[in-house]
Amino acid sequence: MTSFTTRAVAAATLAVAVTLPLAGQASADRTDVPGTAGAKTLTNTPEPARDPFYEPPATIPSTPGTLIRSEPAPLLLDPLGLSENVVTATRVMYSSTDGKGRAIAVTGTVFVPRATYVGRSARPLVSYAAGTQGMGDACAPSKQMENLVEYEGLGIAPLVGRGYAVSMTDYQGLGTPGTHTYMVREAQGRAVLDMARATKNLKGSGITNANPIGLMGYSQGGGAAAAAAELASSYAPELPIKGSAIGAPPADLAKVGKNIDGSLYFAFATFALLGVAQSEGIDPNPYLNAEGQKLAAGVENKCVFDLFEYAFKDSGTYTVSGKKLSELLDEQPFRAAVERQRIGKIKPNAPVVINHAIGDDTIPYAVGKQLGSDWCDKGARVTFNAGLIPTHVGGMLPHVAKSMVFFEDRFAGRNQPNSCWRL
């Protein structure tokens, strides 16, 4: 196994949508908006100096998807057999809107194959939502790829190899100032949709209204792509989205939280603590003791590789009350915050495929199956694939393979079997 593959698999092991929001009482003076100039983190933990490219302008365009700036990105996918002779990579900053509708700047990367696309349609574009990266600015996918540690290359490379253009958002506050709004439904979904808009606005991308679009993501990315599929009809109705490939979606944060409390992935609960609290305008400190506040501040600049040391901790040791974090999910304001992130309440705008391993040890299989059932009840066309390879990590590569088949059909105007009869 190559060193890159080893790192990629290790990263994929941590690519989980561990989603246990913890929140305290509302903080009325919380005014910093991630992705805007000068925004501070929720914990007031200083962020390292950033590349000027990632500094938002003082005034952000109000039209979502407006391209703010672009520059050539370092060639990042060589270990997976791609090179600048095969694909162009461009780093972009574009305008989006957060969960409250405020204009923000978001960064990302656009990949366009150099070869002519051979297919029944114009070259497709896949707006790709990354799995869990971390909370620090250095964790942004566009930066992780520069360091050759971005495991999402495992999903991007096959798409580019097929001739699809791929655009991957960094999400709100990841790379740009302020706290990353991890697992916040609207902010993530809008960032994915506006990434597609920005790609159309990128000179030389070759993407226009004539190019079909797909949405794709696994784990946190599965939630983001699913949210984008739900929001597309109202937020971006002009985008010609033909289908969405959703892997291991964390559609119900309460159930995911109970599953991972005290597990190998416990530390990632703090990602959701910060992300959801930031979006909701909530101060988490009243519910965290000194050790809990130290934990929250400590992860503000951490990436997915950094947090093994927090595995298997008793979450009750970080709260003032001594209650486990999963117990607090049933209390206000936690319950309302979690419910607002629930996916499955809106019909997606196009057919979807959901891929979820039966033996997923992080995001329960039942959560993905319930999402499919919820969408079916709203009249959506859903193909549901139950994966046989166990664990959350084990489900990723089968998800990529099944997504490729799904997109081949959708971009050619064909449907895959509808699974609603058995969900």
Mean pLDDT for the stretch of residues 151-166: 91
Tell me the pLDDT tens digit for each residue of 249-269.
999 988 888 887 777 777 677
Inside any domain, residue 315 = no
Inside any domain, residue 21: yes
Return the minimum-mean-pLDDT range out of 7-11, 33-37, 245-249, 409-413.
Answer: 7-11
Q: In whole angstroms, give the CA distance from residue 348 to residue 233.
A: 8
Report if residue 306 sits inside a domain.
no
For 118, the domain range is 3-253+339-422
At 365-391, the pLDDT tens digits run: 999 999 999 999 999 999 999 999 999
Residue range 270-279: average pLDDT? 79
Count of structural domains, the chain:
1
Q: What percent of the chain has pLDDT over 70?
A: 89
Residue 380 has a pLDDT of 98
DSSP 247: E
Q: What is the rounded average pLDDT for all residues in the chain?
A: 87
- Rounded distance, CA 17 to CA 292, Å? 20
% pLDDT > 90, the chain: 62
**CATH number of the domain bearing residue 194:** 3.40.50.1820
- Residue with the bigger pLDDT between 120 and 111: it is 111
Cα–Cα distances in angstroms (integers) from residue 14 to residues 185, 306, 308, 332, in the given order: 20, 10, 9, 29
Residues 33-57: tens digit of each pLDDT: 999 999 999 888 999 999 999 999 9
- The whole-model pTM stands at 0.91
The answer to whether 186 and 231 are in contact (CB under 8 A) is yes
| Cα separation, 200 vs 374, whole angstroms | 32
The whole-number average pLDDT for the span 172-177 is: 96
Per the rule left: phi > 0, alpha: psi between -120 and 50, beta: everything else, 149 is alpha
Residue 291 lies in a domain: no
Domain for residue 310, yes or no?
A: no
Q: Give per-residue pLDDT as tens, 206-234.
A: 999 999 999 999 999 999 999 999 999 99
- Geometric angle at alpha carbon 241, from 72 and 399, rounded to 5°: 80
316: in domain: no
CA distance 413 to 60: 37
106 in any annotated domain: yes
If DSSP codes are grouped into helix, strand and coil, which group holds residue 23?
coil
DSSP for 56-116 reads PPSS--SSTT-EEEEEEPPP--GGGT--TTTEEEEEEEEEEE-TTS-EEEEEEEEEEESSP
DSSP 241: E
Q: Answer yes or no: is 217 within a domain.
A: yes
